[in-house]
Amino acid sequence: MKNIREFAGMCRLGLILALYAAAACVMLAFVYTGTAKIIALRQQADLEAALRELFPDADAFNEITGIQSPDPLVTFEDEYEARRNEQTAGAALRVSRGSYGGTIRILVGIGADGRITGVKILEHQDTPGLGANAASPAYYVDRAGGITFYGQFKNKSVADPFEVKGDVQAITASTITSRAVSDSVKAAGTAAAAWFDSQAGAAPQPGGTQ
């Protein structure tokens, strides 16, 4: 009888623990779902703010597809067309590439005139004080001119070489990070320029068949 009672007690305790575990899992699922939605909304808001920063005069942004990266090390994650006065004002590409500390994600704006409108470092895992300076508004490659590392890309032509220690000034002691950003911007610019050309080629020609 004693053994039976002990066995029944153990079963009852196991059942209680199982119920508590199930309840905890349900609660965690609700928390995760709610948190995931909040995170997604925050990320979308951050993206929209970044797009507006790259194209402050744009009327709208339309997600586009079909743009291919010319660099196998650079991955295109999202592409957006910037519209102004019902015309293509440019494109913004969210790209990623391996860097010193892991993946670095960058939003690159390219104007329809073939010049970089701006670069935003969205995410990185590089060393603070070194590679992390790629995203720092307080790190200058030209202090007298007030030009940050990422700021030096603005207004560069997509036809430029984007060579670190050439036409791109490197972050001190962080050549790998500098090259990761530079290669990403070059790939985005090259691909966007090709997309602009394809869109122009698709437009109806004057005097053509109506």
pLDDT tens for 49-75 read: 999 999 999 999 999 998 999 999 999
Q: Please answer whether residues 171 and 165 qualify as being in contact, where contact means their C-beta atoms are separated by less than 8 angstroms.
A: no
Residue 77, H or E segment:
strand 74-84
Mean pLDDT of the chain: 87
Q: What's the pLDDT score for residue 206? A: 43
Q: By C-alpha distance, which of 131, 145, 87, 77 is closest to 111?
A: 87
> What is the distance between the alpha carbons of residues 107 and 56, in angstroms, rounded to a whole number?
15
Q: Among all chains, which residue has been given the structure tokens 């050549």?
A: 175
